[in-house]
Chains A and B, each alone.
Chain A
Amino acid sequence: MSMTKQAILGEAWVSLGANKMRSFLTMLGIIIGVASVVLMLSIGQGVQNKIQDSINSMGSNLFIVLSGSASTGGIRMGSGSSPTLKTSDAQEIAALNGVVAAAPALPGNAQVVFNASNWATQITGITPDYLKVREWHLLSGANINDADVRGATRVAVLGTTTVENLFPSPDEAIGSIIRIKNIPFEVIGILESKGQSLEGRDQDDAIFIPLTTAQRKLFGNQFPDSVRQIMVKAESEKVMDKLENDMRDALRAAHHLAERSEDDFNIRNLTAVAESAQTTGEAMSLLLGSIASISLLVGGIGIMNIMLVSVTERTREIGIRKAIGAHESDILLQFLLEAVMISLTGGIVGMLLGCAGSFIATWTLKVQTDVSLVSIILSFVVAAAVGIFFGYYPARKAARLKPIDALRYQ
């Protein structure tokens, strides 16, 4: 016996249309609120994406084991200055539970020459596992393989920045002979671009050569088997804490360290570093989002205000309709619908404006933004919820008016 859905919708539409300016201004509050939520979330998401990209470029669930510090005559030299780590340590670690791979590396800096060009870059001696651990793929050519490591061949895999700086065109690179410290190396592969690391270092400015080649021919010292660092990839984030202890025990045993003596190596959990950066990004998103939410709240209060005015203004009309036999539930639904129509339309327009805003921000301010599906759905749901929440009280007030009081209202 109550009104049809179309009839209630029609009534709500007529009422909104009767006060176009007012409906629009009310909507404006929601538009601004939703647009700022979408925009702020997209900026926050952009920042987080950037951090996530850096983390991903490093590889996930990583440890880096650095050789210990040397101290001569009371002067301590910092991590990696003492040649305490050996290739065999990597094998010890690789044998532990929860380790996917352990890749030893020996980095150093050197001048690289190709024809008339030259370039100073970081050269790292590695095993085939290294690029696997870093989740770093080849753009073209071949990887360093086990035979290269066994034979200490003179082959090199180049990062894109190095390629750009040495070769007039990247196509020439593979098969060319470059000279590192005057030793000729054949370029066998080019790596995909990784971009900046978390510290802002260009990771593509690099050359990789077989570990043994680096040890024996480039950065050789009195300890022929030493490595500067070992990259360790764990199976999952969960095993990392336990693995850190296991590695420490294994290395201490291998290095025959006495109970009391300090470690002659450093283990760094790279994921933990990344997580703290992630947390910063999330905190920023939260801050931006909450500021924007306040404007949405103000917009919602605007709806409530206008709906209350509207109820007062239409008291007589409500009385007439009740006298004619309109049900309380129909009147409740109509007023609620008016509020939801305002907030939902405002929500859609605000969402579009927010998307446009984030687009403009990306273009003009060079801020990385990302409008996620979640923020779109969220703004929709929030807009509808704001309409229902702030529309309910005025709607109930209208529906509960006694017909005689409503009719007598002047």
Chain B
Amino acid sequence: MQQSPSPLVVVNHLYKQYESDAGVVTPVLKDVNLTIHEGEFVAIMGPSGSGKSTFMNVLGCLDVQTDGDYILSGQDVRRLNNEQAAELRNRVLGFVFQGFNLLPRRTAVHNVAMPLICAGKEKVEWEPRAIELLKKVGLSERLHSMPNELSGGQQQRVAIARAMANYPHVVLADEPTGNLDSTTSNDIMNLFRELNEKEGITIIVVTHEPDIAAYAKRLIKFRDGVLVYDGTVNDAGINA
């Protein structure tokens, strides 16, 4: 594993709490400290309600922390305005969701190209890139299929190709295999591993299944909003 010295993600004393309309404050993340370097493959585990998904949303600039610092690729995320945050999501981050979240009524190529289209690229630029990525994830036969014509595994492959489209530094995957059977899950995880090892892309996966987490190299565990474990997967006693 080649580890670049520059930290991609730096989280310092991060807190997140929700306040209900009635004024009841529910702390979700408490004093989280974490540094992730470029090229890492990290799994985040924890039981439901442990705060792992909230943490992922903060990492993905989809949600903002209540307190503490989050530096992504050298930028203090809290200081960004909406447009700058959108740009950061577009250029630095790639998302893979549990529910695939492809755009309906658009072909696989169009879906994969969305981040490039959002970045203002012309069709002559985005189309070859989308086709190249779909070939890489093994969907060269389904370039022009609509999402509802694809199986769950195929949809997730399209989603991964989409996450890769704009050459992101880090791909965030929230329960990417949650809706898939075990064979397909392994295929998807192998794809992530391949992207990490061959292309050096940083991958952060949230999961509650140990055998999915086993594909990663580094493991982070949350319990009740507190980071309780940060070490290698092997030390945690999980085997691939």
A residues at B contact (CB < 8 Å)? 1-4, 7, 14, 17-18, 316-317, 320-330, 402-404, 407
A202 smallest CB distance to B (angstroms): 67
**A7 close to B117 (CB less than 8 A):** yes
User: In the bound complex, what is the Cα–Cα distance between A56 and B93 (angstroms)?
Assistant: 74
| A22, chain B: closest CB distance, angstroms | 14
Asked if B95 contacts A329 (CB within 8 A), the reply is no
Tell me if A3 and B117 are in contact (CB < 8 A). Answer: yes
**Does A325 lie within 8 Å of B166, measured CB to CB?**
yes
Q: Is the CB of B83 within 8 A of A328?
A: yes
A317 to B119, CA, bound (A): 17
Q: Are A324 and B114 in contact (CB under 8 A)?
A: yes
B118 touches A325 (CB 8 A): yes
Sampled A-B contacts (23; CB under 8 Å): A1-B90, A1-B119, A3-B120, A4-B120, A7-B120, A14-B105, A18-B104, A18-B105, A317-B104, A321-B118, A323-B101, A325-B86, A325-B88, A325-B90, A325-B119, A325-B166, A326-B90, A327-B118, A328-B83, A329-B83, A330-B118, A403-B89, A404-B63
Residue of B86, B88, B89, B90 with highest tally of chain A CB at under 10 A: B86
Q: Are B119 and A328 in contact (CB under 8 A)?
A: no
Choose from A18, A320, A325, A326 the contact partner of B101 (Cβ within 8 Å).
A320
Complex: A2 Cα to B90 Cα, angstroms: 11
Q: How many A-B residue pairs have CB under 8 A?
A: 76
Whether A403 contacts B166 in the complex (CB less than 8 A), given A1-B120, A325-B89, comes out as no
How distant is A23 from chain B, measured CB to nearest CB, in Å? 14
Of A4, A322, A325, A330, which is in contact with the most chain B CB atoms at under 10 Å from its CB? Answer: A325
**Could you tell me if A327 and B83 are in contact, using CB atoms closer than 8 angstroms?**
yes
CA distance in complex: A323, B89 (Å):
6
Cβ–Cβ contact B62 & A324, under 8 A: no
Of A3, A14, A324, which one neighbours B95 at CB under 8 angstroms?
A324
Please report the C-alpha to C-alpha distance between residue A329 and residue B95 in the assembled complex, in whole angstroms. 21
> Which one of A14, A326, A330 has the greatest number of beta carbons of chain B within 10 Å?
A326
Is the CB of B122 closer than 8 A to any CB of chain A? yes
19 more CB-based (< 8 A) A-B contacts, given A321-B114, A407-B97? A1-B90, A1-B120, A2-B118, A14-B105, A316-B101, A320-B103, A322-B62, A322-B89, A323-B101, A324-B95, A325-B86, A325-B90, A327-B83, A327-B86, A328-B86, A403-B89, A404-B57, A407-B62, A407-B101
- Across the interface, which residues of B come within 8 angstroms of A407, CB to CB? 62, 97, 101
Asked whether A324 lies within 8 Å of B104 as measured between CB atoms, the reply is: no
CB of B232 to closest CB in A, whole Å:
30
B62-A404 in contact (CB<8A)? yes
Question: In the complex, are the beta carbons of A326 and B120 less than 8 A apart?
Answer: no
The minimal Cβ–Cβ distance linking B32 to chain A, given in whole angstroms, is 18
- Determine the chain A residues whose CB is within 8 A of the CB of B93 once the complex forms: 325
How far is it, in angstroms, between the C-alpha of A404 and the C-alpha of B54 when the chains are bound?
A: 10
Q: Give the docked Cα–Cα distance between A173 and B88 (Å).
A: 91
Contacts of A2 in B (CB 8 A): 118, 120
Nearest CB of chain A from residue B57's CB, rounded to whole Å: 5
Q: Which residue of B lies closest to A317 (CB)?
A: B103
Q: Least Cβ distance of A360 to chain B in Å?
A: 40
Nearest opposing residue in chain B for A18, CB measure: B105
Residues of B within 8 A of A7 (CB): 117, 120
Alpha-carbon separation in the docked complex, A18 to B103 (Å)? 12
Q: Which residues of A contact B119 (CB under 8 A)?
A: 1, 325
What is the minimal beta-carbon distance from B172 to any residue of chain A, in angstroms? 9
Is B60 interfacial (CB-CB < 8 Å)? yes
Complex CA gap A328/B89 in Å reads 13
Residues of B within 8 A of A324 (CB): 89-90, 95, 114-115, 118, 162
B57/A4 in contact, CB under 8 A: no
The smallest C-beta distance from B87 to any residue of chain A, in angstroms, reads 6
Neighbour of A328 across the interface among B82, B91, B104, CB < 8 A: B82
Residues of chain A within 8 A of B95, CB atoms compared: 323-324
- Cα A326 to Cα B118 in complex, Å, equals 5
Q: Please give, as numbers and ranges, the residues of chain B lying within 8 Å of A3 by CB-CB distance.
A: 117-118, 120
| A367: min CB distance to chain B, Å | 47
- Is there a chain A Cβ closer than 8 Å to B106's Cβ? yes
- The 5 residue pairs across chains A and B that have the minimum distance between CB atoms: A325-B90, A404-B62, A404-B63, A325-B89, A326-B118
B87 touches A1 (CB 8 A): yes
Contact with A along B150-168 (1 / 0, CB 8 A): 0000000000001000100
Cβ contact within 8 Å between A403 and B117: no
- Select A14's contact among B63, B87, B106, B115, beta carbons within 8 Å: B106
Residue from A4, A17, A324 whose CB has the most chain B CB atoms within 10 Å: A324
Distance from B97 Cβ to chain A, minimum over Cβ atoms (Å):
8
Residues of chain B in range 73-97 having any CB-CB distance to chain A below 8 Å: 82-83, 86-91, 93, 95, 97
Residues of B within 8 A of A317 (CB): 103-104
Smallest beta-carbon distance B89→chain A, Å: 4
Least CB distance from A216 to B in Å reads 92
Contact partners of B57 in chain A: CB under 8 A: 404
